[in-house]
Amino acid sequence: MHKPKILAGLSLLGGALLPASSLAATALEVGPSIVLSNGSGDQAPDLDLAAKVKLIGMGNGTLIAVFADGAGDPIYDVKSQAVRPARDVYVRTCNYHSADCGDEASWSAAVNVSQTAGLSSATTAWQGPGLPAAPYVGDSDKPNIFGNGSRAVITWVDAYCPGGAQGSVSYLELDDREIPYHCTWAAVSTNNGGSWGPPQPLSDGSRDSKQDVSRGTDQAWVITWQEDPQGLQLGEAEGPGEGASGANVSHGTDIWYTYLPIAELMAGSPFPPAWRLTDNYTHDLTVQGMPTELEGGVAGASRANTALVGNTVLVAYEETKGSGGLEEGKVIRYHVFPFDQPPTSCEPDPMGAPGDCLLGARGQPIPAANDPARMGCILSDPAESSRRVRFVTQGSPGMASSIKLFIFWKQGVFDQGGPSDIVGRGGYFPMGAMGSAPGFRWQDLDPPVAMPTATTLGDVPDGCLILGDEMAMDGARANAPGLNLSSETESGGALEAGTSDNDIENALAHRAVLSGDFLALGYSYTADWAVATYTDQENYDFWVRTSIDGGATWGEPVDLTTEHTTALAASLGLDPTGVNVREPRLVKTPSNGPGCPSGDPMGPDTTDPEDCGSETFFVAWGTQLNTYEHLGPGADLDLYVTRSTDQGASYEEVQLLAAGGEVEELESQLRPTPDGNRLFAVWNATVDGATDALLAVAVAQDDPGGETTGGETEGDTDTEGDTDTDGNTGTGGMTSGSGTGVADGSTGGGEPSDSSGGTSGGATDGSGQDALDDGCGCRSTPQPTGAALLMGLGLLGLGRRRRRR
C-alpha cells in the first residue's frame, strides 16, 4: 500500500533539486475580449441573457463555443426565483489553425441547437397567486458539451418534454407556483460542429432531470443524469449555494444512463431508452392511503460524475445514507462497468412468470435492491458526510507509478456546507493486467477499500457495498481512510489526518489534473469556516499541491492567490480578507495533435509544432466580494490566469484575464493548444443587468523579469505497493494517453482534449456548483465536537488567527 509523504522547501524535477521559488522566463499576454453572444445568426434578437458559456477544442483545431441565451416567452426561474425569458442553446465555431479566433468575424454565425423556447408541453399555474394557468414554454438549462475525434455532443435539461408523461411540482415557498418537470436532451455533431442533428429527448419528464454528463471515445458515447420523482428540490438555506442545483434530492432519486456504440452515433442513430443505474426506487408513494405514481425509496443519488476510458465507464456520485434518519449526510458511491453492460436487474414479480420484473405504477421495473452492480462501492467514511465527488483518469498508466485514476471529494463531520477536507484515493494498474478496466476497479484503489465478497445478485451485500455497523466496524467502515489533502493547509498538514483533527478550517472547489505520473490538486481554503461564513474577517484563497510519483508523495500546498485577492481588496478600500476566490480552474494541455504525431517538435513528421504536447497546465480563478452569508453572495470581480510549464515547480506571473470594474465576471472556461503557448478562454460578463458570453486569447511571451510563485513537488520515492480520467472529468493530457485527465469543476467540466481528441465543456460538479457553492442538501452528521457549531467553530476560531498574517 502507498504511504504518501510530504517534503517541504525543495522540488525534485527531472532528477534536479529546484528551489521552492524559481523564475519562469515567460508570461501570458492576454488580448482583447470579443462578444460571442452578440445576436448573430439564429440568436437574433440578442436578449442579453447569456449563461453558462462552455468551450471545447477539437483535434483539428476547431473551437466550439456553446451558451444559453434568452429566446422566448417568459418563464419562472426556480434557482434565481425570478421571471425571465426562456433560453435556447446556441453554438458558434472557429478553427484556430486557419483563422484568428480572437476576431469575432472569424466565428460562425450562432446556430440554435435546442429550439424549444417557442414550444410548450405543459400548462401550469407558474405565474403566481391570482393568475390563471398558462403554457410554460421550453427553457434550456445550462449546456454541457464533450468532443472526441470529429464528434461532439451537447446535453442539457429542458422544460419542453413532449409525449404526455411530464409531471410538475408546486413550491409553497415560491407563492405556490407550479413548475413543470424537466427532461434530458442531446444534440450530436459528427463533423467538428459544422452541423448538428435534431435535438433528441432522452427522458420523458415523468421525473425531474438534472445534472447531465456526456462522455465519448472512439468506441462509444455515454450520458448520465439524475431524475427526482418529486421534482427539483429547493436548498435548505444551509450551504453557501443558491439552492435548486440538484444536490438536495427526494428519496427514490436515481442516476440514469444511456449509450451508443460509436458506429451507431456516426450513422445518426438515436440514443436508446435509458437504464436506471442505481437502486433507490423501491416503492410507489401513497397519499392518505391512496396509491400514486410518484416513486419513493429510502435514499437518493445526486451529482454524478462520469468518465469513459476505452470501453470502461466510471460513475461516482453522492447518495444519502438511507438509514431512516439514524444517520444524516451522504456517502460517495462508485461504479465501474463496460459501456454496453449497465446493470439491468430488477425485483422479481411474485405474481408473474420466472424472469418477470416487478413493475411500479408507471410501468417501470423496480430495480433489484441487493445487486452489487447497482449498489456501487462506498469510497468515503460512512461516519462522516461526503459530497462533490470528482475524478481524473488516463488511459495509459503512469510509467513509474502505474496510476490511472485519482478520485477525490469533500468530507467532514459536518454537513450543509460546514467544515470539511478534500479526501481522495488513487487507482493503480496491476502488473500483468489486461483491458481498460484495471486501474479503475474497486480492488485497484489505494488507500484500499473493504472489498466485498458479494459479486452477483443473490449474494449478501458486504464490504464497501454497505454502510456497515459502527460497533463491528465492518462494511465500508472498514475502508482504509482516504488521503487528506487539505488538512492544516497553511502549514502542510499530515495526509493521514482525520477531518475532525482541525474542525474549523474548510476546503472546497477542488480541482485536479493527471498526466503520466504527475498529479496536481487544487482547492479553495479558509482557516476558519465560521468566521469566513458569518463575517468578512476570513476569506477563501486557492491552493495547489503536486505529486510527481502518482500520489505516493506530495509537496506542501502552495497559495497562488492571496497576493492578488489582498491587492484587489486594497484597491476597493477593503480589509485584506475582503475578496474571495471563486470558480477556480486547473486545466492541462491536450495531447499531441495531428500536426505532431510523434510529440517531437523537431520530428520529421511534425507539420505544426503547436500540436506538440507539453507539460504545461493553467490555473485560473474568479474573485468575489466577501460578504456576510445572511446578506447573500457578493458581486463577482476580476478573473486571473497563470500557468506552470514545469509541473508546478514554478508559476508564471499572474495575469488579469478580465477586469471587473463595473463588469461582473464569472465562470471561466479554458482551452489551451497542445504546446501550451496559446490559451482560449470564455466567461460570462454582466453590465447593467445584461449578460454576454465573452472570449479572449492569451499568448505566451518572453518575460525574464517575471515574478513567480514557487511550487513544491515531493521528490521522495517511497513506492511501496505501487500498482498499475471532473467536473470530473474531461479528457486530455500533457502526455499521450486517453481518459479524463482534468477535473476543473467547471460546470460540468472544462477540460482539454486527449490523444483521441476527447474534450469536455462541462461536468457535473457539478455542474453549476463551483467554488463557494456547496449546497449539499443534507443535515449535520452527529459527531462529538466539544462545542456548539458557531461557538466551537466561529468564536473559538476568532482566537486562532491565520498564521500567514
Q: Is the pLDDT of residue 191 over 70?
A: yes
Q: Is the pLDDT of residue 784 over 60?
A: no
The answer to whether residue 127 sits within a structural domain is: no
Give the three cell numbers for residue 610.
503547436
User: For 464, left (φ over 0), alpha (ψ -120 to 50), or beta?
Assistant: alpha
Task: Tell me how far apart the alpha carbons of residues 221 and 271 are, in angstroms, rounded to a whole number.
Answer: 9
Task: Tell me how far apart the alpha carbons of residues 681 and 53 are, in angstroms, rounded to a whole number.
Answer: 10
What confidence tens digit (pLDDT) does each residue in 728-755 have?
A: 333 333 333 345 577 764 433 333 333 3
Task: Tell me how far apart the alpha carbons of residues 283 and 1 are, in angstroms, rounded to a whole number.
Answer: 42
The answer to whether residue 81 sits within a structural domain is: no
Tell me the residue range of the domain where 292 lies: 5-30+207-798
The answer to whether residue 128 sits within a structural domain is: no
The DSSP secondary-structure symbol of 248 reads S
Task: Tell me how far apart the alpha carbons of residues 227 and 209 are, in angstroms, rounded to a whole number.
Answer: 4
The pairing of beta strand 713-714 with beta strand 541-547: parallel
CB-CB contact of 244 with 231 (8 Å): no
Average pLDDT of span 210-228: 98
Confidence label for 761 from pLDDT (cuts 50, 70 and 90): low
CA distances from 166 to 75, 79, 120, 280 (A): 17, 20, 11, 21
CA 647, distance to chain mean position in Å, is: 23
CB-CB contact of 188 with 153 (8 Å): yes
What confidence tens digit (pLDDT) does each residue in 700-720 have?
A: 987 644 444 443 333 332 322
The answer to whether residue 63 sits within a structural domain is: no
Give the three cell numbers for residue 386.
461526503
Element (H, E) at 644: strand 636-644
Going 529 to 533 to 537 to 543, the CA torsion angle's sign is positive
Provide the domain count of the chain: 1
The answer to whether residue 458 sits within a structural domain is: yes
Q: Is the pLDDT of residue 25 over 80?
A: no
Q: Is the pLDDT of residue 23 over 50?
A: no
The answer to whether residue 300 sits within a structural domain is: yes
Task: Tell me how far apart the alpha carbons of residues 373 and 199 are, in angstroms, rounded to a whole number.
Answer: 31
Give the pLDDT of residue 655.
95
Task: Tell me how far apart the alpha carbons of residues 488 and 783 are, in angstroms, rounded to a whole number.
Answer: 20
Give me the torsion for CA of 596, 601, 602, 604, rounded to 10°: 0
CB-CB contact of 252 with 229 (8 Å): yes
Element (H, E) at 571: helix 562-571
Task: Tell me how far apart the alpha carbons of residues 116 and 266 are, in angstroms, rounded to a whole number.
Answer: 24
What confidence tens digit (pLDDT) does each residue in 31-85 have?
A: 999 999 999 999 988 999 999 999 999 999 999 999 999 998 999 999 999 999 9
Give the three cell numbers for residue 205.
419528464
The 10 Å Cβ neighbour count of residue 577 is 23
The answer to whether residue 590 sits within a structural domain is: yes
Give the pLDDT of residue 763.
38
The 10 Å Cβ neighbour count of residue 29 is 12
Element (H, E) at 374: helix 372-375
In the chain, the amino acid numbered 309 is: V
Give the pLDDT of residue 131.
96
* 795: three-class secondary structure by DSSP: helix
The answer to whether residue 141 sits within a structural domain is: no
Q: Is the pLDDT of residue 427 over 50?
A: yes
Element (H, E) at 317: strand 312-320
Give the three cell numbers for residue 185.
436532451
Element (H, E) at 657: strand 655-658
The DSSP secondary-structure symbol of 566 reads H
In the chain, the amino acid numbered 741 is: G
Q: Is the pLDDT of residue 2 over 50?
A: no
* DSSP codes, 679-727: EEEEEEEEETTEEEEEEEEEEEEE-TT---EE--EE-----TT------
